[in-house]
Every structure is written in C-alpha cells, then in structure tokens.
Amino acid sequence: MLDRKTEPAFKPLKKVSIPEVHKESLSNGTSLTYLNHKSTSVFKIELVIKAGSWYASDYHLVPLTLKMLNEGTLQKSGKEVAEAFDKLGSFIEFVPGFDNSSLVIYGLSKYLEQNLETLSEILFEPAFELNTFSNLKDREAQKLELNLEKSSYKASTIQRANLFGNKHPYGVIASPGKLRNSSLVAVKEFYNTRFKDFDILISGNLPTNSHSLLDKFFGHHVLPEFPRVNQSFKLLNGENRIEERNSKFVQSSIRVGRTLFNRSHSDYIDFMVLNEVLGGYFGSRLMKNIREEKGFTYGIYSQLCALNHKGFYTLATDVNSDNESETISEILLEIEKLRTESISTEELNTVKNYMAGTFAGSLGTPFSLMDKYKAVHYQGLGLTFYDQYLDSVNSISPDRLQSLANQYLQEQDLSLAVVGR
C-alpha cells in the first residue's frame, strides 16, 4: 500500500536519452535533416537560409527580402498565400536573424505535400512588386519608429552596438530612414545571391514519401556557387558606460554585458550554471534582490546569447528612474559576491536540479529536439554536446563557479548601457 505520509526520496536527474536525427541530401545536394516522430499528427519544416545579417552588406535587406516572400508570388497575391495556409490549418513564420534567416511552417502531416507546394512557390516564385515593396518599407519603418520610442528596445540595441561596433553584423542598428531608402533592385539581388542556399530541417509525423516530396519541390534547383562569407571584424571592448537620456522615456532600461563565447567554448556549460545563479531563472539572486526584496522591477534576467561566430552576455531590467542608480549598484554588488564569496551547497544544488529538470522538459517534442540539434549544429557541434550537459551541471563545484566569476565578470570588463530620463 502506498504510504502518502512519507515523501518519496529525491533522485537527481543524471542522464537523458536524446534521439538521433537523420541526415541525407536531396538530388541537388541540399542538406536535409529529419526526425520522424509518430506520436504526433503534425510536422514542422524549417528552411534555414544563409541570409542573416552576417551575409548582408546592408542589414536592412535581411528583413525586407524575407518579408517580401510573404507579399505574393507570380501566381498568388499575399492574401491568397495566407488563405492557402489557413485552409490547410497551417502556420507560417518568416524569421530574420543575425547568422541565418528561416522560413518555418507548422502543419498537419496529412497536408504535407500541399504545404510544401505553397512553400516552394513562395521561395522560388516571389512577385517582388514595386507598390507592395513600397508599402512594406513604410510599415516596417513605422514599426521600427515605434520600437525606438521604447527604452527597453533602445537599450538592447545600443548595448550590442557598443559591444561589437555598429558596423559589425551583430552590432548593427536598424534605421527607419535606411529602411525607407532601400531599393527593390538591392532586395532582388540579395534574394538571387542568398535565398537559394538553405538547409532543410523537418520533424514530426512524416509520411513515408516525405523524402520524395521534399526532393520534388526543393531538390532540383541549381545551388548557387559563391564562396562562404567569412567576416573579419575587430571586436570592441566597448565603453564602460553609455547612456541615452530623453524625457519621453517613462522608465530606465539597464543593460550590463560583455562579448563572450558560444557553445563551442569549453567553459560554456559551466558558465551557464553561473548565469543561472546570478539571473537565469525566477529564483536567481538578482530576482530575489531587485524584485522581491527591493521591489524595483517586475523582472530582471541574464543570459548568454550564443551566436554562431561569437557570443555576448547580457543582464537586463527596466526600473523606475528614481531607482536606477541603486539598481545598478545592487547588480554590481551581486556580481562582486559571486567573485568573492563561495556559493552554498544548498543554493547550488537547487540550481543544478532546476537546470536538469528544465533541460529534460525541453526535450518533450520532436520540434524542440530539432531546435536542440540546430543550436549546436551551426556552431560546429553535434548532439553529443548534450550528453556532456548534465554531467557538467551535476559535477560543477562552488570553487569552479567562483573562478569563472573572477575570470569573466570583472567589473572593468563589463559594459553598462542605460536608456531613460
């Protein structure tokens, strides 16, 4: 008989089984990665296009070119494209990025062929009409102008520009004026040189003929022949403090950070534990101090943004302007404590268990599994990275965390960006 008066013994999560993804090529050499999972009735397909800001001489071409694909084809208007997906019960996303951009569709497996047909039409037969392009530019510029009125948006953009430089693909800041001045000729050129070079990631319940369908729609265009872009930019140390003041801002947005590394670095996983302690989850030290004890903010977080060619660490919060100075002092104090005081075993175990549980929970669907693959693949790693993850998290010591804090979180190496009144 089950004894409900005695709580079950707690067992730390030591190992998680991650299914292997499978890789093939289409007839023209296009890379195909797939994960078949019969427990669901849906699929996700993602075309990962080598068309992020890393590949663009003008950053504004990235979102404009991608979003023009949604504005109509040679056969369908933008409205008709939307209706085609609606009738299939599908959802499509157009995702611009720093390294790559993506076309993503979520749909019912029984309609895979119809989805692929429309996706192929979008990608290979865009209309690129001038009037539509002019309207798109105006809409995007207006959206950007609204974002630039928000201190949180401004703080994040000037932080990146300060860390990398505003001419670096990771530091560039979008401009409403440059968006409006972009030409359709430049968009077409960017499309012709970049948008037929992509990888296919597909997961979910895949029909037995899925490979032949993918080959039918994406396996017969000629892959472009041009050298891979290898940007060479000198990373900036950034100013220690950069501010933008304007009475229109209703709060102060604070960003603390520095350039760092991505998943390929040997310290990545260990640093993720350090980040979790500081500001990576709701029970972090920053949350307890700035939100719970001081009541200065609804939320404060920190994260390591792992891009394909570099990474950067960012700590972010928005507070009432009257509390700006004290908030910054408390943030720096919490970082100093990580450098000078050893974390307790109890706190570290709480963080380890949280990270292990969150990691296991993130593997619950074929879509999330494919996202895990994507995260490491484009940084030169394989799924074996995740085999090391739990081992590294479970074995890290307080001394190791203190050493990392002293190595990577020295105050003189951190850049502070503040936007507010």
pLDDT band, residue 2 (cuts 50/70/90)? low
Please report the pLDDT score of residue 6 as a whole number.
65
Please report the pLDDT score of residue 11 as a whole number.
60
Mean pLDDT, the chain, rounded, equals: 93
Mean pLDDT of 63-74: 97
Segment 324-340, tens digit of pLDDT: 999 999 999 999 999 99
* Unique residue bearing structure tokens 């019969």: 38
Q: What percent of the chain has pLDDT over 70?
A: 94
Mean pLDDT of 76-87: 97
Of 142, 144, 139, the C-alpha closest to 157 is: 144
Q: Which residues contact 318 (CB under 8 A, 6 or more apart)?
A: 151, 152, 251, 252, 253, 254, 297, 298
Please report the pLDDT score of residue 232 as a whole number.
56
For residue 368, how many other CB atoms are within 10 A of its CB? 14
Rounded to whole angstroms, how far apart are CA atoms 212 and 27? Answer: 10
Q: Indicate if the pLDDT at residue 253 is higher than 80.
A: yes
Point out the least confidently predicted range of 17-21, 225-229, 239-243, 268-272: 225-229
Kindly report the length of the chain.
421
Point out the least confidently predicted range of 196-205, 207-216, 380-389: 380-389
pTM for this model (two decimals): 0.91
